[in-house]
Chains A and B, each alone.
Chain A
Amino acid sequence: MRNRKPLLAGLLCAGLLAAACGTSGGAAGGSAAPGPQGFTPPKLTPLAQLGQPEGQLSVLAWPGYAENGSNDPAVNWVSPFEQKTGCKVSVKTFGTSDEALSLMKTGQYDVVSASGDASLRLIASGDVEPVNTALVPNYADVQPFLKDKPWNSVNGVMYGIPHGWGANLLTWRTDKVIPAPTSWSPIFEANSRYKGKVIAYDSPIYIADAAVYLMAHQPDLGIKDPYALDQKQFQAAVNLLKQQRPLVTEYWSDYLKEAQSLKNGDSVVGTAWQVTVNQVQKDGAPVQSTVPSEGATGWSDTWMVATKSAHKTCAYDWMDYIVSPKANAEVAEYFGEAPASAKACGLTTDKNFCASYHAGDAGYASKIYYWTTPIAQCLDGRTDTQCVDYSDWTKAWTEIKG
């Protein structure tokens, strides 16, 4: 330490170098002018024709969407695809749409199964490109009420292939929660008998679940769309979730952690996906799930192809394969959702499967409030007020968890 000169000089040099790197990094912000959905997507052209399969495909998927037999050797629809096309598939799963979004930004993935709260943001940032549906023969069998929807298309241009849809279900332990609930009230009301045993989803989009509850229980707030909340409505939903917090054992984003919590009885009632319910039942704990009287939030998922993908032929082959009747039926039955392909219903092992998931029922599908990204421009058509956008949802979520 007696001789500080070289030390200081070295540090200074290194510091300056790093600072220079820091400033030059990062993309310039694309501030898009608002269009019909609040934004104009970057101009990108879809793939014109398929080439030779590139031999590799990197898939970013919700858990249960791209099973390669590693969770259950009997559940495997990735290997048949690999054999058919020669595209070697690597699968990465994610727990929330936000996680999917930031993973897509790394540019490492070729295709992604995006829900409505991620798809529009991916389109707006140019991370995914329009899809040439003519190159996806099985697209013809996709239920018409899933095509050209606000969450998967912009100005009539499809940005992906619809995959399946379902609801975030009210789930409970039948041995601990008696009588069986028909409303979300046991997980929201302060006097709930299940205090400290409630499990809730760990994502800002969960605020919409509170909004759905308020739509039924506080009609004077005038909520029409749980993703279009003005300041007053938003505050009411946030307050409801703050009231809920003392009831909550855990917030989950990893469905296996939730399954473990339900199985051990650390939580007995909450919101879950059908795949979690199936998992817990398989582990031998008695759970049931339902869409309660207030309705539910849900998802309608779309396979999208990354703009920067170097394996686009494999990506198109994958999108075509995953909505082919057989694969679509397998995914839908395993994950527990309604398949997008109309022909998948004929191939499920349980012949009543599509009926119980209301797969062809456009009326039922319209009752679920599909995840979508809240933006400042109100999605329910109001023009006299500003809605709360997703970055404020995120901030509020940190505040709710405290």
Chain B
Amino acid sequence: MSAVSAVSAVSAVGAPRHAVTTYLYRRPVVRLGLLLSAPLLWLGLAYLGALAALFITAFWSVNSFTGQVQITWSLDNFVSLFTDSVYRTITIRTVGIAVLVTLVDAVIAFPMAFCMARFASPAAQRVLVIAVLTPLWASYLVKAYAWRTMLSGNGFLHWALAPFGLDSPGYGLTAVVITLAYLWLPYMILPIYAGLERLPESLLAASGDLGARPLRTVRSIVLPLAFPAVVAGSIFTFSLSLGDYIAVTIVGGTSQMLGNVVYSNIGAANNLPFAATVALVPVVIMLVYLAAVRRTGALDNL
């Protein structure tokens, strides 16, 4: 009783607030709506709004001489995107690079993450996680230019590989894959590490008790359970490679990727509408990829 009277005494001041909380308590839809409005506004305006603007711009055109955007609706940009073979080549090349980078990263990251999660002591694990994250502290450009110097005709790789009768791959697609695989490796290691850490020890023990050799255990227990984590990592490496255009200008020699076409249409050609059209290609590829990936449960691993 005394508690109730105390509340009613305070509520003389806080009555409107009390009414608001009661109202919100009774109407969960409104409560949820208000809670979500800030992130939704951000998502809607800054992200989906930008995408919508991109999509709309893709239908415009540009005055070829003065470079001014003309608001006339046409499908010309899409027609040239689909009919010019050069854009198909570039799209295939870009997807190829992204797939290769993802595979290389998965192959390097899996054993590393496995050792970190299974064999390292808790203290060592913390040190290793920091070690994996450290390269992210350095600027992207510094790392890309470091690879440019190393891959140069008389650079470090040339010197290091010469005794084996090999040579540096020089600037080109191989160099792009190496550089991007290096840049995005931490984004692959961390999700796999997190996934493997959650792997129950008992399952591995049970597998051993039932007579499975280590390789069989890896194949039948570890890989299937860790697969969603690998896919989660691949979302990062794949999407980051798909949109990259800086590494390829630094170490890619004459090659261009989708990002370069977008960039040169903004910077050189000053054709924003066509740049918007090209920029939709990676968006579509990512949507397809995410839709495919959703089935593996990888999105719960992010």
Q: Which stretch (A45-53, A210-218, A394-402) binds chain B? A: A394-402
- With beta carbons under 8 angstroms apart, the residue of A3, A22, A391 that contacts B52 is A22
Give which listed residue, A3, A15, A203, A390, contacts B65 with CB less than 8 A.
A390
Q: A18-B49, A264-B152 are in contact. Are A10 and B64 (CB under 8 A)?
A: no
A398 touches B36 (CB 8 A): no
Q: Are A29 and B68 in contact (CB under 8 A)?
A: yes
Q: A102, B32: Cβ atoms under 8 Å?
A: no
The reply to whether the CB of A17 lies closer than 8 angstroms to some CB of chain B is yes
Q: Interface SS of chain A: helix, strand, loop or mixed?
A: helix
Q: Which residue of B lies closest to A248 (CB)?
A: B254
Binds A, one of B40-48, B111-119, B120-128, B198-206: B40-48
Q: Which of A352-381 contact B (CB under 8 A)?
A: 373, 375
A108 to chain B, nearest CB (A): 15
Are A18 and B65 in touch, CB under 8 angstroms? no
Are B53 and A99 in touch, CB under 8 angstroms? no
**A residues near B50, Cβ cutoff 8 Å:** 18
Check A96 against B268 for contact (C-beta < 8 Å): yes
Residues of the B chain whose Cβ atoms lie less than 8 Å from the Cβ of A124:
65-66
A241 CB, nearest partner CB in chain B, Å: 11
Docked Cα-Cα span, A171 to B44, in Å, equals: 53
Of A30-38, A151-159, A324-332, which stretch is located at the interface? Answer: A30-38
Q: Assess whether B253 is interfacial by the CB under 8 Å rule.
A: yes
* Chain A neighbourhood of B62, CB < 8 A: 29, 391
The count of chain B contact residues (Cβ–Cβ below 8 Å) is 53
- The 0/1 profile, CB within 8 Å of A marked 1, for residues 153-175 of chain B is 11100000000000000110000
Which A residues touch B152, using CB under 8 A? 264, 266
Cβ-defined partner of A21 (8 Å) among B53, B80, B267: B53
Q: What B residues does A265 contact at CB under 8 A?
A: 153-154
Q: In whole Å, how far is A348's beta carbon from the nearest beta carbon of chain B? A: 34
Q: Given A102-B67, A249-B171, A266-B171, do A398 and B264 touch, yes or no (CB 8 Å)?
A: yes
Contact B261 A10 (CB under 8 A): no
Smallest Cβ distance from B60 to chain A, in angstroms?
7
- Give Cα A336–Cα B8 distance, bound, in whole angstroms: 86
B56 interfacial by beta-carbon distance below 8 Å? yes
A28 sits at the interface (CB 8 A) = yes
Considering the chains assembled together, what is the distance between the CA atoms of A18 and B90 in angstroms? 30
Contact with B along A251-290 (1 / 0, CB 8 A): 1000000000000111000000000000000000000000
Question: Contacts A19-B53, A102-B270, A264-B154; is A30 near B48 (CB within 8 Å)?
Answer: no
Chain B residues 258-291 with CB under 8 Å of chain A are: 261, 264-271
Q: Which residues of chain B from 47 to 76 have any CB-CB distance to chain A below 8 Å in the complex?
A: 48-50, 52-53, 56-57, 60, 62-72
Indicate with 1 or 0, residue by residue over A209-249, a CB within 8 angstroms of chain B CB atoms.
00000000000000000000000000000000000010011
Nearest chain B residue, comparing its CB with the CB of A392:
B64
CA distance A25 to B171 in the complex (A): 41
B296 at interface, CB cutoff 8 A: no
Is B211 among interface residues, defined by CB-CB distance under 8 A?
A: no
Contact A18 B52 (CB under 8 A): yes
A6 proximal to B (CB < 8 A): yes
Please classify how large the interface on chain A is, using the bins under 10, 10 to 19, 20 to 34, 35 or more.
35 or more
Tell me which residues from 47 to 101 in chain A have a Cβ below 8 Å from any Cβ of chain B.
Answer: 96, 98-99, 101
Say whether B71 contacts A26, CB under 8 Å: yes
B33 and A6 contact, CB distance less than 8 A: yes
- B28 touches A (CB below 8 Å): yes
Q: Are B65 and A121 in contact (CB under 8 A)?
A: yes
Residues of chain B with a CB closer than 8 A to A203's CB: 268
Quick check: B268 and A394 within 8 Å, CB to CB? yes
Interface mask (A161-198 → B, CB under 8 Å = 1, otherwise 0)? 00000000000000000000000000000000000100
Q: Is B217 an interface residue (CB 8 A)?
A: no
A23 to B53, CA, bound (A): 8
Flag whether A13 is at the interface (Cβ < 8 A): yes
A30 engages B66 (CB within 8 Å)? yes
Q: Closest A-chain residue to B267, C-beta based?
A: A99
Among A10, A196, A375, contact of B36 (Cβ-Cβ < 8 Å) = A10
Indicate whether A14 reaches chain B with its CB closer than 8 angstroms.
yes
Is B220 at the interface (CB under 8 A from chain A)?
no
Residue from B52, B69, B90, B254 within 8 A of A250 (CB atoms): B254
Partner of A10, one of B28, B33, B256, B266: B33
Distance between B36 CB and nearest chain A CB, rounded to angstroms: 6
Is B11 an interface position by the 8 A CB rule?
Answer: no
Ordered nearest first, which 7 A-B pairs have the shortest CB separation?
A14-B44, A18-B49, A29-B70, A6-B33, A391-B64, A125-B66, A10-B40
- Having A6-B32, A391-B269, A398-B86, one finds 14 other A-B pairs with CB under 8 Å, namely A6-B33, A10-B36, A14-B43, A15-B44, A18-B48, A21-B49, A22-B52, A26-B71, A96-B267, A98-B268, A204-B268, A266-B170, A373-B65, A394-B269
Q: List 7 A-B contacts (CB under 8 A).
A: A6-B33, A10-B37, A19-B56, A98-B269, A101-B270, A203-B268, A401-B256
